[in-house]
Chains A and B, each alone.
Chain A
Amino acid sequence: MADLFARLGDGFAQALTPQNLAFAFLGVLIGTLVGVLPGIGPVTAISVLIPLSFGLEPVTGLILMSGIYYGSMYGGSTTSILIRTPGEVASVVTTLDGYEMAKRGRAGPALATCAIGSFVAGTFSTLALMLVAPTVASVAFSFGAAEYFLLMVLALSMVSSLALGSPLKALVSTLLGLALSTVGIDLQTGVPRYAFGIPNLLDGVDFALVAIALFALPEAFANMAQRATGRKSAAVEKIRGSIWMTREDWRRSLGPYGRGSVLGFLIGVLPGIGPTLASFMSYAMERRLSKHPEEFGHGAIEGVAGPEAANNAGTGGAMVPLFTLGIPGSATTALLLHVFMMYGLQPGPQMFDTNPRLVWTIIASMYVGNVMLLVLNLPLVGVFASLLKTPAIPLYTGVTAFAVLGAYALNYNVFDLYLLFGFGLAGYAMQKYRFPIAPAVLALVLGGLMEQHFRRAVNIANGDLTTFVRRPISLTILLVIVLVSLLPLVLRLARARVAARAPVKR
């Protein structure tokens, strides 16, 4: 324990250097800005801004990118409340009561409870990450190739099972991502696959490029080509009166903060739609526990406080599998993994031993970032809200230009721009036909590792496929995979019940 604090102290010493502090601030500021801008979520922001971290030292670059991540999670709630347009899926629930509060002239307290709830939950989840991660990492030391392979299968099957919408389409999306991951020279044998003799394809398809193409371009195309120019989105609710919460608001928010934080962290650890699921579950739970459930959907502050806490605690939770196993559970954490690998770092159990300073500095900077977000958001919420008036056409034209810039800066290669163009159109088609994007991106980043682990495991067992069943840990993971695959069925029933009670309107 004392060791833990010594390491954390060291982390803080690093995180508080003027340079790192400045980049943490820059990260959360950019994150909040893009989180507020409609249609640009955390994934789009990080994928397009990856080039920003190129010239930086690993620690500083990772602090910047993580700052953008949780900053944008934070900013997403502002749009939910003021124009009933969630910045990302995880803040969909916030629209229910948040927008109602705003309509009743209580936008201030709604935004305040979001900010404070996010702060409480962010701090809690960072603390929990700090305590849980080393333990998980030490367990993970006993994992072999078979276990890693199955853990990745588990992550992907969870993403498919828990996806909103059709699990079959999520599965298709996952498989497309895996198929894409086989492009390029096979690392074990040196045989080129699906490269069609194009030298640029021998290294495979750049993951960040695909993420930019699939997330940023379809959204930009769709918004630029809208039928009616200057679509009047829902009116921006004015922030009237005090932005501070009353004593009553505090009293009603504290419970949801606590419950949301714990729930969010636990569910956030799960790959797939951790934070989203957490915010939905928190909403359902708060309504069940409430003494006045009839207020929910009509501006109950608990319905804002709980889900927002859960959603932000989820981001800390999502860092656990990334840091300890090197397995990202979402498109956003997959991008963070990509940034790690770009610096030649491989997150996983070893990283706590080989590079403890880096890990603890990032964790420390998460505390710092949380404080900054609170200081930044409470007084400046009005300024951020005014960003909502950014006209759509220049905004999305700018996003497109940024996407091209980001793709070019990855390898200084025009061929990448052609790929960007092609994948952008493919992503548009996928979204048009409602195939979720995130599973494909996650599968693309995990595909290569998965294949290597699978082949290593089979080779170690001399071609005996039963190795996956014989090892006790891998057998357990296998059983969990089977359970998870049955989950859509269970969830279908549960969703039908939730949907009947809380019709989410957009």
Chain B
Amino acid sequence: MRGRRFTADGKAGLLLLSFSLVYLILALRIPASSFASADVGPKGFPLGIGLALATAATALVVRGQREPGADPLPAIAVDDEELPPADPLKFGVVVLLLLVYILTFTALGYVLATFLFIAGTTTFLDRRRLLRNLLFGLGFPLVVYAVFTRLLGITLPAGLLG
């Protein structure tokens, strides 16, 4: 368990290192300022951030290769950020459903797209409560649409139903 976490850190470090290198290369390609008076041009900050990020990522890689258990940090047992382990299939489908929702958001309109997303997702995750899922899927967008467009004056795409 501990061993795996350390290599995960190492991998994250490698990923971050490559990100920082791309970021740095793009920073170098930022056109220079046309203002001669500026002492720090538009490149300055990105270059600094990129270098610092590359350094930190390298440190992460180095630390990630160390023997498991060598970490001197006694993890205080407050892992607020810890997420419950996910089922890869469910995760994939949920993410896919969200993507479909986003892609259909304006075409279908808020109410229809949201109904499909909520009813679809809840039914995929819990088939036994079909009626509850459908009612929730219907109620949520209708209430939101009414409150947002009528009370708050925020326009939402009407789409097919408009």
Query: Interface residues, chain A, CB within 8 Å of chain B?
Result: 51-52, 54-55, 86, 88-89, 92, 164-166, 168-169, 171-172, 175-176, 178-179, 182, 186, 188-189, 191, 193-194, 218-219, 221-227, 229-231, 391, 393-394, 397-398, 400-401, 404-405, 408-409, 412, 414, 417-418, 420-421, 424-425, 428, 431-437, 451, 454-455, 458-459, 462-463, 492, 495-496, 498-499, 503-506
Q: Would you call A223 and B45 a contact (CB within 8 A)? A: no
Secondary structure type dominating chain B contacts:
helix
Residues of A within 8 A of B52 (CB): 175
Q: What are 27 A-B contacts defined by CB distance under 8 Å?
A: A54-B152, A88-B80, A89-B80, A164-B79, A165-B81, A178-B45, A179-B23, A182-B49, A189-B42, A193-B42, A194-B46, A219-B83, A226-B85, A394-B132, A394-B136, A397-B136, A400-B98, A400-B121, A418-B102, A428-B83, A431-B82, A434-B81, A436-B81, A454-B40, A455-B45, A463-B39, A506-B78
Q: Would you call B42 and A226 a contact (CB within 8 A)? A: no
Q: Would you call B37 and A459 a contact (CB within 8 A)? A: yes
B52-65 CB mask vs A (1 if < 8 Å, else 0) is: 11001101100100
**Cα distance A335–B41 in the bound complex, in angstroms:** 29
Q: Would you call A503 and B125 a contact (CB within 8 A)? A: no
Residues of A within 8 A of B91 (CB): 221, 225
Q: Would you call A227 and B86 a contact (CB within 8 A)? A: yes
Residues of A within 8 A of B46 (CB): 179, 182, 193-194
Q: Would you call B75 and A178 a contact (CB within 8 A)? A: no
Known A454-B45, A504-B77; contact A175-B152, beta-carbon cutoff 8 A:
no
User: Smallest CB-CB separation from B102: which chain A residue?
Assistant: A417
Task: Pick the contact of A393: B63, B80, B125 (CB < 8 A).
Answer: B125
Task: Pick the contact of B73: A179, A225, A412, A492 (CB < 8 A).
Answer: A492
Known A394-B133, A401-B114, A432-B83; contact A166-B73, beta-carbon cutoff 8 A:
yes
Residue B8 lies at the interface, judged by CB distance under 8 Å to chain A: yes
Q: Would you call A226 and B73 a contact (CB within 8 A)? A: no
Nearest-Cβ distance from residue A201 to partner chain B, whole angstroms: 13
Residues of A within 8 A of B105 (CB): 404, 408, 414, 417
Task: Pick the contact of B87: A168, A175, A227 (CB < 8 A).
Answer: A227
List which B135-162 residues lie within 8 A (CB) of chain A. 136, 140-141, 144, 148, 152-156
Known A89-B80, A404-B101, A434-B81; contact A229-B125, beta-carbon cutoff 8 A:
yes
Residue B72 lies at the interface, judged by CB distance under 8 Å to chain A: yes
Nearest-Cβ distance from residue B109 to partner chain A, whole angstroms: 12
Report the tally of A-B residue pairs with Cβ distances under 8 A.
209
Q: Would you call B76 and A499 a contact (CB within 8 A)? A: yes
Residues of A within 8 A of B57 (CB): 172
B46, B91, B148, B156 — most chain A CB neighbours (10 Å) = B46
Residue B108 lies at the interface, judged by CB distance under 8 Å to chain A: no
Q: Would you call B76 and A504 a contact (CB within 8 A)? A: yes
Q: Would you call A421 and B63 a contact (CB within 8 A)? A: no
Task: Pick the contact of B74: A226, A433, A495 (CB < 8 A).
Answer: A495
User: Smallest CB-CB separation from B46: which chain A residue?
Assistant: A182
Q: Would you call B60 and A398 a contact (CB within 8 A)? A: no
B52, B76, B110, B118 — most chain A CB neighbours (10 Å) = B76
Q: Would you call A459 and B87 a contact (CB within 8 A)? A: no
**Cα distance A395–B83 in the bound complex, in angstroms:** 16
Q: Would you call B78 and A89 a contact (CB within 8 A)? A: yes
**Cα distance A455–B41 in the bound complex, in angstroms:** 8
Nearest-Cβ distance from residue A294 to partner chain B, whole angstroms: 21
Residues of A within 8 A of B126 (CB): 229-230, 391, 393
Residues of A within 8 A of B132 (CB): 394
Q: Would you call A459 and B39 a contact (CB within 8 A)? A: yes
Q: Would you call A492 and B31 a contact (CB within 8 A)? A: no
Nearest-Cβ distance from residue B138 to partner chain A, whole angstroms: 12
Nearest-Cβ distance from residue A406 to partner chain B, whole angstroms: 10
Residue B21 lies at the interface, judged by CB distance under 8 Å to chain A: no
**Cα distance A58–B99 in the bound complex, in angstroms:** 34
Residues of A within 8 A of B63 (CB): 168
Residues of B within 8 A of A171 (CB): 56
Residues of B within 8 A of A496 (CB): 74
Residues of A within 8 A of B130 (CB): none
**Cα distance A421–B103 in the bound complex, in angstroms:** 11
**Cα distance A181–B52 in the bound complex, in angstroms:** 15
**Cα distance A222–B153 in the bound complex, in angstroms:** 33
Nearest-Cβ distance from residue B118 to partner chain A, whole angstroms: 5
Nearest-Cβ distance from residue A455 to partner chain B, whole angstroms: 5
Q: Would you call B152 and A55 a contact (CB within 8 A)? A: yes
If A168-B56, A434-B81 are given as contacts, then 6 extra A-B residue pairs at C-beta distance below 8 Å, sorted by A number, are A176-B53, A191-B30, A218-B83, A391-B126, A394-B132, A397-B118
Q: Would you call A189 and B79 a contact (CB within 8 A)? A: no
Q: Would you call B38 and A459 a contact (CB within 8 A)? A: yes
A88, A230, A397, A408 — most chain B CB neighbours (10 Å) = A397
Task: Pick the contact of A175: B40, B56, B102 (CB < 8 A).
Answer: B56
Residues of B within 8 A of A499 (CB): 74, 76-77
Q: Would you call B37 and A431 a contact (CB within 8 A)? A: no
Known A225-B94, A431-B83, A433-B8; contact A495-B76, beta-carbon cutoff 8 A:
yes
Nearest-Cβ distance from residue B82 to partner chain A, whole angstroms: 7
B8, B27, B83, B85 — most chain A CB neighbours (10 Å) = B83
Q: Would you call B81 and A224 a contact (CB within 8 A)? A: no
Residues of A within 8 A of B106 (CB): 414
